[in-house]
Amino acid sequence: MRQFLLPDLGEGLEEAEIVTWHVNEGDHVVTDQPLVSVETDKAVVEVPSPQSGRIAHLFGATGDLVKVGAPLVEFAEGAEQDTGTVVGQLDTSEKRDISTKIPAAPATGRMVQVLPAVRALARKLDVDLNAVQATGSGGTITRADVERASKSLAEAGPAETLRGMRRAMAQRMAAAHAEVVPATVTDDADIHEWRKDEDASVRLMRAIAAACKAEPALNAWYNSGAGARRLVKRIDIGIAIDTEGGLIVPVMRNVAERDARDLRAGLDRLRTDAVARSIPPEELRGATITLSNFGMIGGRFANLVVVPPQVAIVGAGRITQLVVAHHGQPAVRRMLPLSLTFDHRVVTGGEAARFLVALRSDLELAS
């Protein structure tokens, strides 16, 4: 028998969720035939067969979580055990430890007293005593405290185990919060001279490219383990796309060298693939800076989250009309709020401010 292990999907996760099996035990398959679809942090990926042969055994059912390197399929012939393969290509020059661990929750530091009968009641009602607010004397958790917590949990509905994109978001945000030292600067761009049909997303991407050329320190990767920064010449922008299943951040490649029509076509394709959950893993990796155009939904400014190894993220708020000074006189102008969050371990305040000035200046150019 030869086992095929769940390969490294290159997504920085230790496991994947089985979505659909495309084969059954006893089936004969050929090399590269899809075996199973698994859900990674950002997309549903088809895992192809590494060989031709008969399927002897399938490990896991739909909805199961499978660890990377764990058995996935067993073939009826072949004695060599598979060591796992890589789906997609990883650039070895940029290879880094992508394992992600969720940090333990910080201790509350409080001392609580719980009588044995109350502890038994908590077990019976499936209530976590660490989440119960103690109202008894001296910080004691009472029966009423446990019953109140149980009632609140029942009213809130059943707990939902995070899977797929939601699970990955929790892991990445926790890791980013534990590592990055964020700082945010904001400004407004006067876009009153734009055409009425101006493509805001394309203008933002091109303005980011111009700002990266003016201040390259923000188009970079930082390896905190090695204490090494890499300034990246090519500008690959991660585009935050809101979907029903969660946030997906595909990458628009080589933005500085593409015209407006090509950028719009590429963005439309990424958005369609994101909604369909069909984005290839390689299109979710390697962003050098990220754009969150959250103003399409609402809000003006934001403290955004920088996801390592990137060092900066740009946010665009909702376009509004404001009374501002224009040529020394009050005037109603269309203004675009801008937020720039950066990793202050690597980027100085001066570099961030110069980037924001270049970004705003490019956006304020007439169409």
Give percent of the chain above pLDDT 70.
88
Most confident of 33-37, 38-42, 277-281, 313-317: 313-317
**What integer is the mean pLDDT of 254-276?**
94
Model confidence at 57, pLDDT cuts 50, 70, 90, reads: very high
pLDDT given for residue 162 in this prediction: 82
CA neighbor of 154 nearest in space, from 162, 146, 164: 146
Domains of the chain (ranges, CATH numbers): 2-94 (2.40.50.100), 101-163 (4.10.320.10), 180-363 (3.30.559.10)
Higher pLDDT, 99 or 10: 10
Tens of pLDDT, residues 215-237:
999 999 999 999 999 999 999 99
Phi, psi of 338 (to 5 degrees): -125, 135
pLDDT given for residue 104 in this prediction: 30
Model confidence at 10, pLDDT cuts 50, 70, 90, reads: low
**What integer is the mean pLDDT of 45-56?**
90
Three-state SS sequence of 207-235:
HHHHHHHHCHHHCEEEECCCCEEEECCCC
Tens of pLDDT, residues 189-217:
999 999 999 999 999 999 999 999 999 99
Higher pLDDT, 39 or 125: 125
Q: Is the pTM for the entire model greater than 0.85?
A: no
pLDDT given for residue 13 in this prediction: 65
**What integer is the mean pLDDT of 17-22?**
90
CA neighbor of 216 nearest in space, from 264, 256, 272, 266: 256
pLDDT given for residue 96 in this prediction: 34
- Measured CA to CA, the distance from residue 312 to residue 218 in angstroms comes to 6
